[in-house]
Amino acid sequence: MSRVFITGSSDGLGQLAARMLLESGHQVTLHARNKSRADDARRAVAAADTVLIGDLSSIDETRRLADEVNALGRHEAINHNAGVGSRSGREATVDGLSLAFAVNVLAPYLLTALIARPDRLVYVSSGMHMAGDPGLDDPQWQTRNWNGTQAYSDSKLFLVMLAFAVARRWRNVLSNAIEPGWAPTKMGGPAAPDDLALGAATQVWLAVSNDPSAKVSGHCFYHQREQRVHTAARRSDLQERLLDYCAKISGVALPS
């Protein structure tokens, strides 16, 4: 039996993954952005151990969330499922960052750096990462004209880079990314053609399965099949540049 923490698990893909894990006899810690969503999560997944609250757009709240996860005791797996989609305009966080970067990149980075090291890490990216730009000249979109689709694609490429950087640095941790597909979530919309259950099942498979195909590190999967990634994702120099940037803006370095 494993204990798994899933960010963004008050609904959608994360909640479905939580249900699958509980049905298989595992323990789950849920996460919600605020109290209202936490109450919804408790009603929907009553068997979960607990629901932690934290707004991942805030550096301070994300750090506090990491402390609360650690206070519960070690989790064998952490699934970084939370994310925000494309926005019509640049939204700034309380820290002055682009919302897409703060939630999709910096929050997983901080939680990875601050939560007691698990056995497995799963980062939920997107096939749109293939259109991402790995450059860090203006990741907060402070000087460029805003492009919501590009900002989202960039953030999901950075997330794959983070997953692979952790796999390279932490040889005793299985760190992988997934592409859940265009699934009918709030982000994907009701007309999305992919199977939501298959995206959740891949999260679960990487988090707890003893299948040799799941016990690997530094890969990206779509419906439990290895997926091609952006060539920049595997460049260690770009990975290190991303880690340095996240450390600089957050004040937290990823342990070696």
- For residue range 160-178, what is the model confidence (pLDDT) as tens digits? 999 999 999 999 999 999 9
Beta bridge partners of residue 5, listed in sequence order: 29, 78
Q: Pick the catalytic residue from 123, 156, 215, 222.
A: 156
Phi and psi at residue 221, in whole multiples of 5°?
Answer: -125, 145
* Alpha-carbon gap, residue 132 to 135, rounded angstroms: 9
Q: 70-79, 90-99, 183-192 — which is least confidently predicted?
A: 183-192
**Can you give the pTM of this predicted structure?**
0.95
**Which amino acid is present at 45?**
V
Residue 248 annotated in active site:
no
pLDDT at 83: 97
**Is residue 255 a part of any domain in this protein?**
no
pLDDT band at residue 181 under the 50/70/90 scheme: confident
**Is residue 256 a part of any domain in this protein?**
no
pLDDT at 132 over 60: yes
User: Which H or E element spans position 172?
Assistant: none
pLDDT at 196: 74
Q: Pick the catalytic residue from 35, 152, 222, 245.
A: 152
Domain interval for residue 210: 3-250
pLDDT at 189 over 90: no
Residue 156 annotated in active site:
yes
pLDDT at 256: 86
The mean per-residue pLDDT over the stretch 215-241 comes to: 97
**Is residue 134 a part of any domain in this protein?**
yes
pLDDT at 186 over 90: no
**Is residue 84 a part of any domain in this protein?**
yes
pLDDT at 185 over 80: no
How high is the mean pLDDT of the chain?
Answer: 95
pLDDT at 159: 98
pLDDT at 131: 98
Number of domains in the chain: 1
Q: Mention every residue, 6+ apart, whose C-beta is less than 8 A from residue 122.
A: 77, 78, 79, 80, 81, 176, 177, 178, 203, 206, 207
CATH number where 160 lies: 3.40.50.720
pLDDT at 194: 62
pLDDT band at residue 141 under the 50/70/90 scheme: very high
**Is residue 196 a part of any domain in this protein?**
yes
Q: Which two tokens stand for residue 213?
A: 């195909």
**Is residue 111 a part of any domain in this protein?**
yes
